[in-house]
Amino acid sequence: MTDGSAPIPRDPRNPRPGETAPPVPEAIEARLQEILSRHPVTLAEEAGILEEAHRLLHDALA
């Protein structure tokens, strides 16, 4: 039995060398607001904005 203080594999509190800690929710929210505050002129621009927002959220949840 462990006391909860020992790191476990892929423990987010102790990233592997070369890995970065995941971004904090506030940073993700700020970046998402920045992306979604753009005003597209064409449907292609809107699709690009939504794709960028989707990628940001996908990466944050991975």
The secondary element (H helix, E strand) that includes residue 51 is helix 43-61
What amino acid occupies position 19? E
Copy the structure tokens of residue 29. Answer: 């929210």
What are the helix and strand counts (H, E) for the chain?
Answer: 2, 0
Collapsed DSSP state (helix, strand, coil) of residue 38: coil
- Alpha-carbon distances of 44 from 40, 50, 60, rounded to whole Å: 8, 10, 24
Q: What is the pLDDT along the chain (62 residues), one digit of tens a residue?
A: 556 677 666 666 666 666 676 678 999 999 999 999 999 999 999 999 999 999 999 988 87
What pTM does this model have? 0.64
